[in-house]
Amino acid sequence: MRIAFLAALIGAAAIAGSTAQMHADEAALGAAAEGLKSSNFRLKGEAIDQIAAEGSAQAQAVLRALLDGRLYITRATDQVVIAADGAQTPAITGAATGADLGSADKSDLKRIIINNQMRGSLNTALARMSLRAPDAAARVAAVESLFDSLNPDTVAMLREAEAAERDHSVLHALRTALALVDLESTNPADRRDALETLSGSMHADVRNRLVARLGDGADGAPIEPDADLRATTTAAVARIDRARRIYGLVETAFFGLSLGFVLVLAATGLAITFGVMGVINMAHGELMMLGAYATWCVQQLMPDNLEWSLVAAVPVAFLVAALAGIAIERGVVRFLYGRPLETLLATFGISLVLQQAVRSIFSPLNRAVATPGWMSGQWVINDALAITYNRLYIILFSIAVFLTLVAILRFTALGLQVRAVAQNRNMARAMGVRGGWIDAITFGLGSGVAGLAGVALSQLTNVGPNLGQSHIVDSFMVVVFGGVGNLWGTLVAGVSLGVANKFLEPFAGAVLAKILVLVFIILFIQRRPRGLFPQRGRAAEA
């Protein structure tokens, strides 16, 4: 009984103690923040140092707000507050306590002004705080923000951080920063070591610093006195440039692949309806548009589950587009088999109707489809190369769709029947395959894939009534270039056209690159009217 009482007492004291500690922190921070009210910049500078010395998360938030110009004094109550954003009536929180104070009109707030010197010390203080951040990426960012303000103070800080650091990428950044300091050293050996370290760095600041070392000082003498080291510096710059060029090529190749796989995705459905069935479906682009709008609708229906709405949209978009496709096939295309030009015109008419229907239902304005968190952001490989996640996922998605489709056509009973009908309709029907049913299913499959392409496109472009139209010409080019009736040809054609387009862009500009690709395809069709991988066999001439 007594022991329990004692334990309770100790526990209460401990809680009281920690609360008291918290209150003491807030009081100290509050006192320091009071100093910011002064109009004297020197006093404000001291207040910043005091706040920085506090080191708490709230102190960091105050400094960040001060740097961003979001730290205000309320005119009514003379409190230092943090505004959430630059809105006319931002939400405000107490600077010292972090307590929610509702919102205030901008006219009731007075911004705390800082000068450039304060901005520098704020950066340093924030970096110092971030160097201890739990997130490695935040620590790297903190180190890199110090590249411009390397002084004995920050260098000591960096060395301290280096000793304690375990993370590979942060260590790399720290060593780069310290090497930048050593570059100015009077000891040639230090400078040589620094050059050795820096020549592997891709950071833009590093290259600028190295190039600056090659110039002449104010007195006309070269900044780098040692001729041998000057040569090493030149070599280091050359090495950095070469590496950046290679990474640039890799990046262009990635952009090209990304564009290429979007083309593949858009063209795969067409490769089924046009390639396998021989139906020119000009409404294919509008089926993609339907898929994109389906994505948007799914997101509207589940606003609380943004992360998963895109995944949920995939089957929905497939079904919507596939059903629309089956309706088109049963309603119109079926009566026009063997008359490709008429099919082209009729499906074009359908595309106009679908466009206008979307315009009437959803308004002619573009709809924004949100990108879920796991798809946004980028994968930073180094300072010269970063890959955006949405493009990466779209490439993977495109490959998955393509392989699934190939597998369906190749290994399932349905695929066998589809190929049989495509090769010889009468013979297939004589063998008991229901020709009409297979036609509808095949068309539905191709249309469904168009819907899937729409899901992917909703992440890359605006979702609007013209979404389909802008992709239809490209999709046909890919199918024709690859060879009709050949899914692998579509893959090769889409990827190579995408990559070629992106590699031409730096020289020719985006529009001219596209024109060049179009002209190339027009000429290519002249040489090989049946595409890269023509269908062989006696039926090919039909």
**Site residues for other proteins per CB under 8 A:** 280, 332, 335-336, 340-346, 348-353, 355-357, 359-360, 469, 473, 476-477, 480, 511-512, 514-515, 518-519, 521-523, 525-527, 529
Nearer to other proteins, 230 or 334 (CB): 334
Cβ pair 281, 273 in contact under 8 A: yes
* Residue closer to other proteins (CB basis): 281 or 459: 281
Q: Report the nearest approach of other proteins to the CB of residue 514 (Å).
A: 6
> How distant, in Å, are the alpha carbons of 62, 64, 90, 124, 164 from that of 80?
10, 14, 14, 22, 35
Q: How far apart are CA 488 and CA 271, in angstroms?
A: 10
In the complex with other proteins, the residue whose CB is nearer, 353 or 403, is: 353
Q: Is 386 in a helix, a strand, or coil? A: strand
CB of 479 to other proteins, least distance (A): 9
Say which DSSP state 539 is in. G
Given the complex with other proteins, which of 240 and 279 has the nearer CB atom?
Answer: 279
- Nearest CA to 332 out of 440, 425, 424 is that of 440
Describe the crossing of helices 204-213 and 227-270 by its angle, rounded to 10 degrees: 150
Q: Closest distance between other proteins and the C-beta of residue 326, in Å?
A: 16
Cβ 324 to other proteins, closest distance in Å? 14
Which one, 429 or 514, has the nearer CB to other proteins? 514
Strands of 100-103's sheet in order across:
100-103, 91-94, 80-83, 71-74, 109-111
Output 333 or 487, the one with its CB closest to other proteins. 333
Nearer to other proteins, 425 or 530 (CB): 530
Q: Minimum Å distance from CB 169 to other proteins?
A: 43
CA distance 97 to 184: 44
DSSP secondary structure, 297-359, as one string: HHHHH-GGGHHHHHHHHHHHHHHHHHHHHHHHHHHTGGGGTT-HHHHHHHHHHHHHHHHHHHH
Of 166 and 527, nearer to other proteins (C-beta) is 527
What's phi and psi for 380, nearest 5 deg? -85, 115
Q: How far is the CB of 541 from other proteins (least distance, A)?
A: 9
Sign of CA dihedral 512, 514, 518, 523: positive
Least distance to other proteins, CB of residue 488, Å? 20
- Distance CA(321)–CA(327), nearest Å, equals 10
Q: For residues 143 and 121, what is the distance between their CA atoms, to the nearest angstrom?
A: 15
